[in-house]
């Protein structure tokens, strides 16, 4: 049993993160008292939580704004002399063995001040856990141990399991800006492909010679990401492309309206990063999938300053209602990615 849930998010999105936790709690059938503090970059919730039941609820109701979620206890006061011994003892109360240990901080400037402490403690904690037989890196079926330091003298300790849990500490993938990409927006699509697709799916659904359409392509960051995988891309934008994508033989640039363009024959992917209202993008994605113009789509929704969670739910309903009316089996997911800011990324695919 655990008594605390900790959810990482982008600073400023704590209210939306709390809505995620409320949905998961409702699915798990538990009542939680949620603590939401502005610009903290995480949300906590307290109550009696069966970890197995919580993990199942996370898989059924995946969070949108929460980057990474773990269940455990805290905050625990820690001595400056010995932090390792109490952390190992707290870990033993939750699970007998773990596949890895993640030392984390909130994603804020203040939180990052503890990153040096995490680097110093990581090998010491790994060694202590291995000595007690609690660390088994080769067994991916085991949970992860999270230790999140808000300060150098207190920490939350908890567990998460995959696939409901994030694949990265704090839910942040380490994606480097690639040399030659025409814009930093390429990082959003790179992260989206890591988030929404597993290793096998990326191999199967991003094969050389597959065809894609990039709506709102300029200056070409998303197109660049696709051609690196060998896809042939029709880049739709009245604006110019930049860099190597302008002359790449895999790219056909058409100066056309992204809202009205359709390919002559169906493509494998449609990606879209146009600056339009979220509902218009949702309607556009739904029509592409419903009409069979593409099989899969990754797209951005530029969110309003207020009622952001409600806007995402409205866009999800637009897509789902359209596809259900057309009797199109599909999967639909949304995540507030690390490389997103006042926007959110969606993934929709036909399911045969």
Question: Which residues have CB under 8 Å from 137's CB, separation 6+?
Answer: 99, 100
Question: Which residues have CB under 8 Å from 341's CB, separation 6+?
Answer: 10
**β 144-151/154-160 pair status:** antiparallel
302 is catalytic: yes
- Reported in sequence order, the residue ranges of the chain that DSSP labels E, i.e. its strands, are 2-8, 33-35, 42-49, 68-77, 100-104, 144-151, 154-160, 211-215, 232-236, 251-254, 267-272, 294-302, 330-335, 343-350
Q: How is 2-47 classified by DSSP, letter by letter?
A: EEEEEEE--TT-HHHHHHHHHHHHHHHT---EEE--TT-SEEEEEE
Question: Which residues have CB under 8 Å from 317's CB, separation 6+?
Answer: none
What H or E segment, with its residue span, contains residue 244? none
**In contact, 156 and 44? CB cutoff 8 Å:** yes
Give helix 115-131 / helix 84-94 axis angle, nearest 10°.
60
Q: Which residue among the candidates 188, 242, 302, 306 is catalytic per the annotation? A: 302
**In contact, 149 and 117? CB cutoff 8 Å:** yes
Strand ordering across the sheet containing 2-8: 33-35, 42-49, 2-8, 68-77, 154-160, 144-151, 100-104
**In contact, 1 and 50? CB cutoff 8 Å:** yes
**In contact, 282 and 297? CB cutoff 8 Å:** no
Q: How far apart are CA 279 and CA 302, in angstroms?
A: 10
Residue 150 φ/ψ, nearest 5 degrees: -85, -25
Tokens of 61: 């109701």
Catalytic residue numbers read: 302
């Amino acid at each position: 049993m655990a008594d605390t849930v900790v959810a990482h998010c982008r600073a400023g999105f704590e209210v939306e993160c709390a809505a995620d936790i409320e949905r998961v709690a409702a699915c798990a059938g538990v009542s939680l008292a949620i603590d939401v503090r502005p610009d903290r970059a995480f949300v906590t919730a307290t109550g009696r939580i069966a970890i197995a039941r919580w993990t199942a609820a996370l898989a059924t109701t995946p969070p949108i704004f929460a980057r990474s979620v773990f269940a455990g206890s805290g905050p625990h006061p820690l001595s400056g002399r010995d932090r390792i011994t109490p952390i190992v003892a707290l870990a033993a109360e939750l699970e007998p063995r773990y596949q890895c240990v993640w030392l984390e901080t909130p994603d804020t400037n203040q939180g990052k001040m503890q990153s040096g402490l995490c680097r110093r403690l990581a090998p010491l904690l790994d060694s202590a856990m291995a000595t007690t037989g609690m660390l088994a890196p080769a067994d991916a079926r085991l949970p992860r141990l999270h230790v999140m330091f808000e300060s150098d003298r207190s920490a939350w300790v908890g567990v998460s399991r995959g696939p409901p849990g994030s694949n990265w500490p704090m839910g942040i993938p380490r994606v480097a800006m690639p040399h030659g990409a025409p814009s930093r927006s390429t990082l959003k699509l790179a992260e989206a492909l890591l988030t929404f697709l597993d290793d096998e799916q990326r191999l199967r659904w991003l094969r050389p010679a597959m065809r894609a359409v990039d709506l709102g392509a300029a200056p070409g960051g998303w197109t660049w990401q696709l051609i690196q995988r060998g896809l042939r891309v029709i880049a739709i934008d009245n604006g110019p492309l930049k860099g190597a994508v302008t002359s790449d033989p895999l790219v056909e640039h058409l100066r056309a309206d992204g809202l009205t363009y359709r390919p002559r024959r169906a493509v494998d992917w449609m990606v879209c990063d146009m600056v339009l209202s979220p509902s218009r993008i949702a309607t556009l994605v739904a029509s592409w999938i419903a009409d069979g113009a593409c099989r899969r789509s990754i797209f951005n929704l530029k969110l309003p300053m207020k009622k952001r969670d409600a806007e995402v739910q409205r866009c999800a309903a637009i897509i789902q209602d359209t596809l259900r009316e057309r009797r199109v089996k599909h999967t639909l997911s949304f995540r507030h990615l690390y490389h997103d800011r006042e926007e959110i990324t969606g993934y929709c695919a036909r399911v045969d």
